[in-house]
Structure formats: structure tokens, C-alpha cells
Structure 1
Amino acid sequence: MTLARDERHALVATMTAVGPDAPTLCGDWTTRDLAAHLVVRERRLDASPGIVIKPLAPHTEKVRAEYAARPYEELLELVRTGPPIWSPLRLVDAKANLGEMFVHHEDVRRSGSGWEPRDLDDEWDGALWSLARQLGRMAFRKAPCTVVLDAGEGRTVTPRHAAGAGEVILTGTPAELLLYAFGRDAVRVGFDGPDDAVAAVKALPRGV
């Protein structure tokens, strides 16, 4: 088993527990909608490009809605079993799907009040820190100031340099920094820097 596979199964277990109509952090999507998105991403090569290419989004949404109309248990089984043998994602599941499964699991976990971060072990911590460092370059590329990610224990990275424009340091666990870089606001992240620079970083469009 890989971390990505473990997290996939944990996500399905949580989705099963909360039911098909539970809210998520993905806009107005319910857990049913989110499950349909995951299925399209892994199983419909004709529709998945629209997830990131806006002109193709209408077709992607049409296909996603068709899957969302299926029985919830069927959708979750498709998510649980992962990419089919012919999917390019199957070969890179351990790397390509770790962030996807983790972030969407937290989208379900943190959609209501009273959530708490999970207590993750060192293996998880290292894997999520690697992802946060990679995604940070994209998430903060338009920042008007220097951005530093600080995960503690001497782990820092500077995904954005902007000479003479001030510096904002984001502090948190690798999991929280990754979620923030993915565009989530239900996180435990601290901000240190000039007020105007911090406000500018918080206003950035983030995610992939």
C-alpha cells in the first residue's frame, strides 16, 4: 500500500460516513459531486482536461453531472478502486494522487465547524512537505512580495522572490501549508510580515 492508496480508502470511508449530501469546501459541491469529479478525473480521458482548461470545462461538467446522477455507492466504489488499468494516472498513482486525495479528504472533513487537523506521522509529514514546496511555486508565483513557507524544525522554502517588496512568512505544518497553497482557507496557518504584503498574499488566487 502507498500513502495515496491509504488516503483514497480513508476518503471513501469518510464520504460513506457523512453520506451523499454532505457539504464540502469545493464551492457548492456535495460529497456526491466531489466523488463524481474524482471519477471523471481518473476514468474519462475525454473529459478530464476540462478540469484545468476552461474552454473545455462545459463538457467536463456535463460528464461529471451524469456520473453524479449514479447511485452514490457505485460512485464511491469507482473512487475506491482508483484509476483503471488503461488510465495514465494508474502508473503514477502514488505521486499524482497523494495531494488530490489528501486535499479532497480535508475538503470533506473541514466543511463544517469543530474540525481539527489530523495527527500525521513522520512519513506523511515528509510527503506533504515535499508537495507543499512544489505547489508553492505555482500558488504564490504572482505574489508582489517574497513568500517563505516555514514548516518548523528548520524546514523553510522560498517559493517566490520579489526583491525590495517585503517578505511574508507563512507558518504551519506541511499539511496546513499544502492545503493553503491548494486554495483552502479552513487551515491553521500563521502570517508574519508587513500588513499590506500579508493582505496581498491573502488576496492571491491560489491552487492549480
Structure 2
Amino acid sequence: MEPLSRSERAALCNSALEAGESAPTLCGGWDVKDLVVHLLVRERHPVGAVGIVVPPLAGLTERTSRRLARQDFTALVERVRGGPPLWSPTSVPALDRAVNSLEFLVHHEDVRRAQPGWEPRELAEAEQRAVWRSLAVAGKGLVRAAGVPVELRWPGAARDGDARTTTLRAGQDPVVVTGEPVELALLLFGRDQHRGLRFDGPPEGVRRLRGSDLGF
């Protein structure tokens, strides 16, 4: 199977071209072109990318983004499709999978689910397992803002020998969120456009989890 990071990168690019550069996304006030520019800054412009994680240096990101935004939309999308440059750490396949699998999955859904009439996709079983395993690692940081014990549950995990439940934050009386891996990923990245999730546990814990600014 093609790695999820690569298949979602290609699918995101296809959806971006189909939606068009001025179409909305789930990323605040960004349109599709803004999102594509963000991906390029993050992956190909290390100086500009510093401001993504260091707010006082956000001006570097803004300047780089403005420069890229003046370029042709289709050309920008194809640059994303081409993958990371050879000097990038994510050109190493293992790092690409670790860093980009959830990034491109969620941003692909940011494009899809901002359009009228969207429906959840059916991912292949192997793709769902890849999302589930990524959440078990990245999810611990994603729920930190909630400050409550959290467990994820995917009933389908047991079919392939994976753990049915993964603990993101240990503690008594956890909030247990049950659903499909993609929907769980969208929740943990702070998106409201998820479907079919069930929240069990102390009502106050559920309220805090659902009301928190989740994500990195």
C-alpha cells in the first residue's frame, strides 16, 4: 500500500484543484490557495516556517506567504504534489509518514468538508489502521489543552490485531471517544465537522474536551 502521507498528499492536491483557489476551507479564514501556500511554506521554506511555531516571528511566515500567493495557483498545487525537497528531513520516508500522514489527511478534509454536500469518505482498512496508529502517538499532544483523561476507541481495530482502545491522557474516569479514525483525527485537530463520534464519561469532562482548543 502507498503510504498514507503520499496518498493523502495526492488526494488533497486533486481536491484543491477541483474546488478552486477561492473555495473555503475549515482553516479559519483561509481559502484553498491560502492552505496550499501554508503547506509550501511549512515544507519548502524553513525560514518562513519558523513563524508557524514561534508566534513572535510570524512576520517571517507572512512575508513568505505573500510572496508565494502571487504565483499561479495550479503551479503551487503541483509543487505540493511533488513532495518535499531532497534537503528536507521529510524526504526520508519514515519521517514523511510520521510528520505528514495526519497533516495531509486533516488538511484534505479541510478542503472537502468546507464544500457543500460533503460526505465522509470510506478509507481502505490499511489506511484506517495507519490513521489509528498515528493518533496513538500524536494524540497525546493534541488533547493536552483539555486537561482531562482521554481514551479513544475504534471498534474496528480488533479486526487487525490492533488495540481497540488507546489512552491519550491517563487518569480516573476518562472521557472515552468512540468512532472511525478519520473522524477522531478531525476532532483532535480541533475541527467541528466530524461525524458519528460517541462521547462517554463524566459530563464535565466531555464538556471540557469538546470545548477545548484541541490540536498543536
- Give the Cα–Cα distance (whole angstroms) in 2 for the partners of residues 177 and 24 of structure 1: 19
3-state SS in 1 of match to 2:47? coil
**Alignment pair present for 1:101 and 2:104:** yes
- Give the Cα–Cα distance (whole angstroms) in 2 for the partners of residues 22 and 199 of structure 1: 32
- Give the Cα–Cα distance (whole angstroms) in 1 for the partners of residues 96 and 5 of structure 2: 7
TM-score of the two chains, using structure 2 as the length reference: 0.89
3-state SS in 1 of match to 2:84? coil
Aligned residue in 1 for 2:181: 174
Aligned residue in 2 for 1:46: 47
Give RMSD over aligned pairs.
1.5
3-state SS in 2 of match to 1:96? helix
Aligned residue in 2 for 1:55: 56
2:37 partner amino acid: A
**Alignment pair present for 1:74 and 2:106:** no
- Give the Cα–Cα distance (whole angstroms) in 2 for the partners of residues 159 and 101 of structure 1: 21
Percent identity (aligned): 42
3-state SS in 2 of match to 1:98? helix
3-state SS in 2 of match to 1:196? helix
Q: Deviations over 1:3-62 (max 9, x none)?
A: 222211111111111110000001010000000011111110111122122112221122
2:169 partner amino acid: R
Mapping of residues 49-198 of structure 1, within 5 Å: 49-91=50-92, 92-153=95-156, 154=158, 155-163=164-172, 166-188=173-195, 189-198=197-206
Shift of 1:142: 3.9
Unaligned runs of 5+ in 1: none
More divergent stretch after superposition (13-22 vs 80-89): 80-89
Q: Deviations over 1:68-98 (max 9, x none)?
A: 1211011111111011112222112233211
8 Å CA contact 2:49–2:60 kept in 1: the answer is: no
Shift of 1:116: 1.5
Q: Deviations over 1:133-153 (max 9, x none)?
A: 112211222434321111113
- Give the Cα–Cα distance (whole angstroms) in 1 for the partners of residues 211 and 192 of structure 2: 11
Aligned residue in 2 for 1:205: 213
More divergent stretch after superposition (138-147 vs 38-47): 138-147
Unaligned runs of 5+ in 2: 159-163
- Give the Cα–Cα distance (whole angstroms) in 2 for the partners of residues 68 and 95 of structure 1: 28
8 Å CA contact 2:25–2:32 kept in 1: the answer is: yes
More divergent stretch after superposition (4-13 vs 85-94): 85-94
